[in-house]
Amino acid sequence: MTTEATTTDVTRVLDLIDQLVRAHDPNGDRHEFMRAQFDMGLAWVHFPEGRGGLGLAPNLQNVIDERLDQLTPHRPRVFDILGHGMGAPMLVAHGSEAQLDRYLRPMFTGEEVWCQLFSEPNAGSDVAGLATRAIQDGEEWIVNGQKVWTTAAQLAKWGMVVTRTDPDLPKHKGMTYFLMDMEAEGVEVRPIRQITGEGEFNEVYMTDVRIPDSNRIGGRGDGWRVALTTLMNERVAIGARVAPRNSGAIADLLEVWDSTGRPADRRDEVMRLWVAAEAARLTNQRAAENRKAGTPGPEGSTAKLVFAELNKKIYELATDLMGPEGMLYDSYSFTVPDPNEEASTDVRRRFLRARANSIEGGTSEIMKNILGEQVLRLPGEPRVDKDVAWSDIPRS
Ligand SMILES: Cc1cc2nc3c(=O)[nH]c(=O)nc-3n(C[C@H](O)[C@H](O)[C@H](O)COP(=O)(O)OP(=O)(O)OC[C@H]3O[C@@H](n4cnc5c(N)ncnc54)[C@H](O)[C@@H]3O)c2cc1C
């Protein structure tokens, strides 16, 4: 595994992209083009060869994506943050060879959507307190419990599910992680309508669902370790994307600013947010350049915190500048966003959706706790239940 991209590596990937685009029609069958991209190692360039990568430096992926954007602006894309951003790096870190063979390619192409079954009605920020039970029965596990806020569960083929397998151990030690077939008997998905009107997330009920032991990721009792890898990658996937200058939320604000006649008395507010967005973008770029392959550290939590809080402020100002127009969000039909399609770009929808940014993937308060403890080395929160058997912890 290389950690820094050399000129030879850049030339190599650019040559491969030319071959890919010459041999496969980017506007033809969406899966065919992406299968070829995966097979050439251009999916996740830092992954091992044969697993969608070439074992090269992670920051080369930006070179690949930018070049593909130039050559094939209308090529198929997959917006499966749960699979691409979280499931794939989790599998590479903890999956068996057979699991990598089975799951990575159809996930990359969007043929199999993934979802994340972590949160429960009584376990969100404190996800290690979860209660979904898995009991071993020969070569299978029988799972019972309820998850909530499960994004894309109604479209997913595979769910990353964390379960309680040893209730007599302290909460972090008695969990095991599985991939659950969302089409298996006993899995019931009930959509929840959110503030945008869409049904992006769901409740998921599991009643005597049988999961083969071959779908266990990591050892029995390793669930917390595997879950942490997933969560660390989730924060990077949400907040640490390296975008071009003046793109994303700040581009929306500039567009609204232009279309509302650039009111002089609001210039300062726009400028302050532009500077903050640019500082965040450059920080993410620096972090990406230094990123080594492997599980990200607390820089993901910094990026996620800044992204969430900034996004809310940007869309608040944008809708405020729009005046009464900003309140006329007319898309309250119940739809289920497809991770293979980009979501609506309506600024008013984005304003409403941004409220979720400081909750999903860990709330802003939890990000601050992580940064306080792991980066600033402040005293930790009292954790009175840390060494107590999960089954002895009082709960409602
Ligand atoms: C759009 C969206 C999509 C989501 N998708 C998924 C998904 O696909 N899969 C999944 O598993 N989950 C998903 N979630 C759930 C998300 O991870 C949880 O909502 C989040 O972790 C918070 O948990 P909670 O809702 O139970 O709130 P709680 O943990 O009950 O928190 C309530 C409030 O208390 C604060 N708080 C809690 N503990 C502390 C503390 N120790 N210190 C300071 N403040 C604290 C929180 O910051 C928050 O303000 C999604 C959420 C949203 C909004």
Rounded CA separation 337/115 (Å): 13
User: What does the alpha-carbon distance between residue 335 and residue 314 come to, in Å, rounded to a whole number?
Assistant: 25
Q: 317 lies in a domain?
A: yes
Q: Measured in angstroms, how far is the CA atom of residue 103 from the centroid of ligand 1?
A: 28
Question: Given this model, what pLDDT does residue 118 score?
Answer: 98
Whether residues 147 and 47 share a domain: the answer is: no
Nearest ligand 1 atom, CA 151: 8
Number of Cα atoms under 13 Å in the Cβ half of residue 12 = 16
Q: What is the pLDDT of residues 6-30, one digit of tens each?
A: 889 999 999 999 999 999 988 888 7
- List the alpha helices (DSSP H) in the chain: 7-23, 30-39, 60-71, 88-94, 97-109, 223-239, 249-259, 267-290, 299-321, 347-354, 364-374
Q: Same structural domain for residues 365 and 232?
A: yes
| 3 confidence band (pLDDT: 50, 70, 90) | low
Domain region containing 214: 114-226
Based on the fold, state whether residues 28 and 41 are members of the same structural domain.
yes
**41 burial via Cβ count (<10 Å: 0-12, 13-18, 19+):** buried
365-387 mean pLDDT: 92
pTM for the complete prediction?
0.94
Q: How confident is the model at residue 59 (pLDDT cuts 50, 70, 90)?
A: confident
Tell me: do 250 and 180 sit in the same domain. Answer: no
- Is 322 found in the same domain as 246? yes
117: which strand partners? 161
Q: How many separate domains does the chain show?
A: 3
Q: How far is CA 371 from CA 118, 126, 240, 366, 380, in A?
A: 22, 16, 15, 9, 11
Ligand 1 binding pocket, CB closer than 6 Å: 115-116, 118-119, 124-125, 149-151, 201, 356, 359-360, 362-363, 365-366, 369, 381
CATH of the domain at 257: 1.20.140.10
| pLDDT given for residue 243 in this prediction | 83
Model pLDDT, residue 340: 67
- Rg of the chain over Cα atoms, rounded to whole angstroms, equals 22
pLDDT at 5: 78
- pLDDT tens profile 310-331: 999 999 999 999 999 999 887 6
Considering the domain architecture, whether residues 128 and 147 belong to the same structural domain is answered as yes
Atom of ligand 1 nearest to the CA of 82: 8
Same domain for 150 and 43:
no
User: Which of 35-44, 67-76, 269-278 is predicted with the least confidence, judged by mean pLDDT?
Assistant: 67-76
- Residue having the nearest C-alpha atom to atom 27 of ligand 1: 124
Q: Do 222 and 232 belong to one domain?
A: no
Residue 104 covered by a domain: no
Is residue 205 included in any domain, yes or no? yes
| Cα-to-chain-centroid distance, residue 372 | 23
393 assigned to some structural domain: no
Residue 164, pLDDT above cutoff 80: yes
Q: Are 277 and 314 in contact (CB under 8 A)?
A: yes
Say if residue 195 is in the same domain as residue 287. Answer: no
Mean pLDDT of 289-297: 72
Task: Output the pLDDT for position 165.
Answer: 98
Best mutation site among 359, 368, 396 for ligand 1 pocket (most ligand atoms within 8 Å of CB): 359
- Residue of the nearest CA to atom 26 in ligand 1? 124
Distance (Å, whole) CA 150 – CA 132:
14
Q: Which of 190, 211, 226 is the last residue of a domain?
A: 226
Which ligand 1 atom is at minimum distance from the Cα of 365? 47
Tell me, what's the pLDDT at 347?
Answer: 95
Count other C-beta atoms under 10 Å from residue 139's C-beta.
9
Tell whether 195 is covered by a domain. yes
pLDDT at 107 over 60: yes
For ligand 1, the distance from its centroid to the CA atom of residue 202, given in whole angstroms, is: 14
Task: Flag whether pLDDT at 227 surpasses 80.
Answer: yes
Binned at pLDDT 50, 70 and 90, residue 197 comes out as confident
Q: Do residues 98 and 129 make contact, with C-beta atoms less than 8 angstroms apart?
A: no
- Residues 198 and 331 sit within 8 Å (Cβ to Cβ): no
Ligand 1 centre from 127 Cα, in Å?
Answer: 9
Q: Identify the residue whose tokens are 């600013």.
A: 257
- Across the range 99-124, mean pLDDT stands at 96
Mean pLDDT for 174-190 is 98
Domain assignment present for 339: yes
- With contact defined as beta carbons under 8 Å apart, do 150 and 203 qualify? yes
For residue 120, what are the β-bridge partners?
A: 123
Range in 228-232, 260-264, 279-283, 340-344 with the lowest mean pLDDT: 340-344
| Any domain includes 132 | yes
Residue with tokens 């997959």: 78
73: which residues sit within 8 A by CB, 6+ positions away? none
Task: Identify the residue whose tokens are 């500077």.
Answer: 275
Q: What is the mean pLDDT of residues 88-93?
A: 96
Using the mean position of ligand 1's atoms as its centre, give its distance from the Cα of residue 120 in Å: 10
CATH of the domain at 152: 2.40.110.10
One domain, residues 217 and 268: no
Ligand 1 atom with the shortest distance to the CA of 194: 1
For residue 345, name the pLDDT band (cuts at 50, 70, 90).
confident
Percent of the chain with pLDDT over 70: 97
Rounded Cα–Cα distance for residues 221 and 223 (Å): 6
Q: Are 289 and 225 in contact (CB under 8 A)?
A: no
Do 136 and 214 belong to one domain?
yes
